[in-house]
Amino acid sequence: MINDGTLEKLKILAGAAKYDVSCASSGSNRPNTGKGIGNASPWGICHSFTEDGRCVSLLKIMLTNYCQYDCAYCINRRSNDIPRTAFSPAEIVELTIEFYRRNYIEGLFLSSGVVKTPNHTMQMLTKVAQDLRTIHNYNGYIHLKSIPGASPEMIREAGLYADRLSVNIEIPTEQNLKLLAPEKDYPGILQPMGIIRQGILENKENRRKYRNAPRFAPAGQSTQLIIGATADNDSQILTLASSLYRQQNLKRVYYSGFIPVNSYDKRLPMLVQPPLIRENRLYQADWLMRFYHFKVEEIVNDNHPDLDLELDPKLSYALRNPWMFPIDINKADYELILRIPGIGVKSAQLIIAARNFGRVNSGQLLKMGVVLKRAKYFLTCNELSSPTINEIRPEGLRRLFTEQTKGKKKDRNYGQLKLF
């Protein structure tokens, strides 16, 4: 099955799939039944990292890069003159299993250009997942792309074999989507999302009643937004993300800095470099919403529609709200401690636990991993009496922090830093 032709196809179809940033393999807990191949671990495992610093967890590949759509931002758009090819389902199955057995990957992330009809394409994707599960007894992770326009029945079928389903919104506002992808519209994207959400909820209910009811997309659904291809501001992007988390129960929203793959298309901006810093700030803001109990309006609002590129969103929030600081770490609630810049989820939990035994001082904070050189302006503890944000003033702190990062930037021209 696998031969020299496979190598060429792999080159083309991996290259075609790489702009989809999702790579998570977490959230599923599929045991290996009856001595088959693989299992899905609930926390997910990255197996490698590419030289652009992105994690490789799944074999991210397209079934084919033929596509009838002509979306301006996409490398695979129909009007592009690029080499086109297609895998057979059997080839993908074999590649997945052989890679999996060598511990290269955590599973498969399969997507496709739209060929013939959306339903036909969806059926092909489902067939790969079905073969893996039923013929090869494969229990590893599978992420399938839900093809826009596929029927509800097709999506429901796919969810029976996949751990995660995703529908990409790509463009954060409807009018801009219409402009760049005339064949797509928001209802066409949100409807399948609703179907998947419904399927997941019903399945949870069923599995509560019958422990052996078949799973439906146990790792939930995710989506991707392209950043910087259109003039949408961060407030629009994050408000959309926040409503997706709350209303559609999405597990993840991914932000993908726009890379001008079709530079000839005049509807798209000319960028020298992808907006990596902005992308990083959006991820930080996303983290604040998901793990730090922040509301989207607290991060961006009409007065501050865009994230601060110089400072991370949590610090930026603190400088805008000096009245709430300094926070007494020996008395404040967990949610409030999380608001202190330089204290993350882990150290906040350690502080809360340690407080039961006695008052916590700055030396202990440092040992617990608190970034004190940042946090010290926003907290009080047992003995610390250094000047806080109220003495230095937000403007003064801003100067201090931006100078610190500028010093560091010299050897780092790249915007993508680690999260927090």
Partner 1 sequence: MNIITYDKTFEGFLTAVFDCYDKKLTPITFVGFTEFQSILFGKEHPVITDAFKADRVWKGLHKKLSDTGCKMLAIDFLSELPDVELILYRYIRKVLESNVSIETNFGDSCVLEIYQLFKKVSRETERVRMFVRFQKTIDNIYFASFDPQYNVLPLTVHHFESRFADQSWIIYDTNRKYGFYYDLKSVNEISFDSSKIHPVTGTLDQSAFTEDEKLFQKLWKTYFKEIEIKERHNPSLHKRLLPKRYWKYLTEKQ
Nearer to partner 1, 32 or 233 (CB): 32
Shortest distance, position 83 Cβ to partner 1, whole Å: 13
Using CB under 8 A as the binding rule, whether residue 225 contacts partner 1 is answered as no
Binding of residue 249 to partner 1 (CB under 8 A): no
The residue within the footprint of partner 1, chosen from 42, 83, 358, 387 (CB under 8 A), is 358
Among 90, 115, 213, 259, binds partner 1 (CB under 8 A): 259
Comparing CA positions, the residue from 242, 246, 173, 159 lying closest to residue 204 is 159
* Maximum C-alpha span of the chain: 71
Nearest residue (CB) to partner 1, 212 versus 356? 356
The one segment of 175-183, 192-200, 312-320, 357-365 that binds partner 1 by CB under 8 A = 357-365
3-class state of residue 97 by DSSP: helix
Beta bridge partners of 110: 61, 144
3-class state of residue 48 by DSSP: strand
Q: Is residue 384 at the binding interface for partner 1, with CB under 8 A as the rule?
A: no
The nearer residue to partner 1, 141 or 378, going by C-beta atoms, is 141
Find the binder of partner 1 among 42, 82, 104, 301 (CB under 8 A). 104
354 binds partner 1 (CB under 8 A): yes
133 versus 197: smaller Cβ distance to partner 1: 133
What string marks each residue from 80 to 99 as x (binds partner 1 by CB under 8 A) or -?
---------------x--xx
Residue 226 C-beta: closest distance to partner 1, Å? 13
What is the C-alpha separation between 298 and 291, in angstroms, rounded?
Answer: 14
| Residue 190 touching partner 1 (CB under 8 A) | no
**Residue 11 sits in the site that holds partner 1 (CB under 8 A):** yes
**Residue 345 binding partner 1, by CB under 8 A:** no
Other C-beta atoms closer than 10 Å to the C-beta of 89 total 18
What is the separation, in whole angstroms, between the first and last Cα of the chain?
46
Find where tokens 């078949």 sit.
214
Selected range binding partner 1 among 17-25, 114-122, 192-200, 232-240, rule: CB under 8 A: 17-25
- Contact status: 407 vs partner 1 (CB under 8 A): no
Which of 2, 135, 201, 400: binder of partner 1 (CB under 8 A)? 2
Is 140 in contact with 100 (CB distance < 8 Å)? yes
383 binds partner 1 (CB under 8 A): no
Task: Give the C-alpha distances (Å, rounded to integers) separating 140 from 321, 355, 399.
Answer: 46, 42, 50
DSSP 324: G
Residue 17 is a binding residue for partner 1 (CB under 8 A):
yes
3-state class (DSSP) for residue 384: coil
CB 152, min distance to partner 1, A: 32
**Residue of 79, 212, 356, 385 that binds partner 1 (CB under 8 A):** 356
Q: Which of 74, 158, 97 is nearest to 124 (CA)?
A: 158
The residue from 26, 27, 38, 193 that contacts partner 1 (CB under 8 A) is: 38
At a CB cut-off of 8 Å and minimum separation 6, what does 105 contact? 47, 56, 57, 58, 59, 96, 99, 140
Binding residues for partner 1 (CB under 8 A):
2, 6-7, 10-11, 14-15, 17-19, 31-32, 35-39, 41, 45-56, 59-60, 95, 98-99, 101-104, 137, 257, 259, 273-274, 276, 350-351, 353-354, 356-358, 360-361, 364, 367-368, 411-412, 414, 416, 418
